[in-house]
């Protein structure tokens, strides 16, 4: 039986969709269909609006978080949205990876990071009045930090940013709030993780 811990923000908690339609639960279901025994529901430590430091504090408050077979991390969009510093993000993201690795028994091959989606490519983004080319560039910069850190540490990174951009014109991919992904978009993330993520080869 594999036990999964998912760390993150609104994208992990599944804001605007039922809990069973979160990408982590859909991914767990796909893994079960492949013959893996996955403990359900997935343990989630995430909250809408959290930045890296807020997630880190929540993990401290939840301690001991125990030992897990698989740990995912998706964080950073709120750092970008609030205009946080990239170098500070790098430090805090590294600390979160330390925590994720420890929770996975210090096995980096059991940690999976997902990139930050481009919220500018949503109905909310189109109506928010911000420079969306700048938003996209900032998200790319944060994702660049994530890619660099993951590369240095040998931790798998799944690019879901491209999926959010490629399907941005499809209304079915957006939740009713116009900002967060729909269950259909989360399905694409889950399928991508199953096909390309390290967890799909366990």
Instruction: Identify the CATH number of the domain in which residue 124 sits.
Output: 3.40.50.1110
- How many C-alpha atoms does 190 have within 13 Å on its Cβ side? 25
This prediction has a pTM of 0.95
Domain extent for 187: 4-201
So what's the pLDDT on residue 64?
Answer: 87
One digit per residue, pLDDT tens: the chain, 202 residues? 999 999 999 999 999 999 999 999 999 999 999 899 999 889 999 999 999 999 999 999 998 889 999 999 999 999 999 999 999 999 999 999 999 999 999 999 999 999 999 999 999 999 999 999 999 999 999 999 999 999 999 999 999 999 999 999 999 999 999 999 999 999 999 999 998 755 645 5
∠ CA 175-74-196, rounded to 5°: 90
Say how far apart CA 33 and CA 53 lie, in whole Å. Answer: 36
Residue 67 structure tokens: 């030992």
Rounded to a whole number of angstroms, the CA Rg of the chain reads 16
Where b means 16+ CB within 10 Å and e means fewer, 83-109 reads ebeeeebbebbeebbebbbebbeeebe
Residue 43 structure tokens: 């343990």
Task: Give the distance between the most distant pair of CA atoms in the chain.
Answer: 47
The number of distinct structural domains making up the chain is 1
Residue 154 structure tokens: 């040998």
Residue 82: CB atoms within 10 Å: 9
Residue 103 structure tokens: 């929770």
């Amino acid at each position: 039986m594999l036990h999964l811990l998912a760390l993150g923000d609104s994208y992990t908690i599944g804001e605007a969709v039922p809990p069973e339609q979160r990408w982590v639960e859909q991914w767990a279901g796909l893994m079960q269909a492949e013959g893996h025994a996955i403990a359900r529901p997935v343990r989630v430590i995430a909250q809408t609006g959290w930045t890296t430091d807020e997630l880190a504090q929540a993990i401290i408050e939840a301690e001991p978080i125990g030992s897990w077979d698989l740990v995912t991390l998706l964080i950073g969009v709120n750092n970008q949205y609030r205009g946080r510093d990239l170098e500070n993000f790098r430090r805090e993201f590294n600390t979160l990876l330390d925590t994720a690795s420890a929770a996975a028994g210090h096995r980096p091959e059991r940690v999976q990071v997902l990139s930050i989606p481009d919220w500018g490519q949503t109905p909310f983004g189109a109506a928010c009045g911000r420079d969306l080319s700048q938003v996209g560039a900032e998200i790319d910069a944060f994702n660049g930090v994530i890619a660099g850190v993951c590369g240095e540490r040998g931790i798998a990174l799944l690019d879901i940013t491209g999926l959010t951009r490629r399907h941005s014109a499809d209304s079915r991919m957006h939740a009713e709030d116009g900002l967060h992904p729909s269950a259909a978009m989360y399905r694409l993330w889950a399928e991508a993780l199953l096909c390309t993520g390290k967890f799909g080869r366990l």
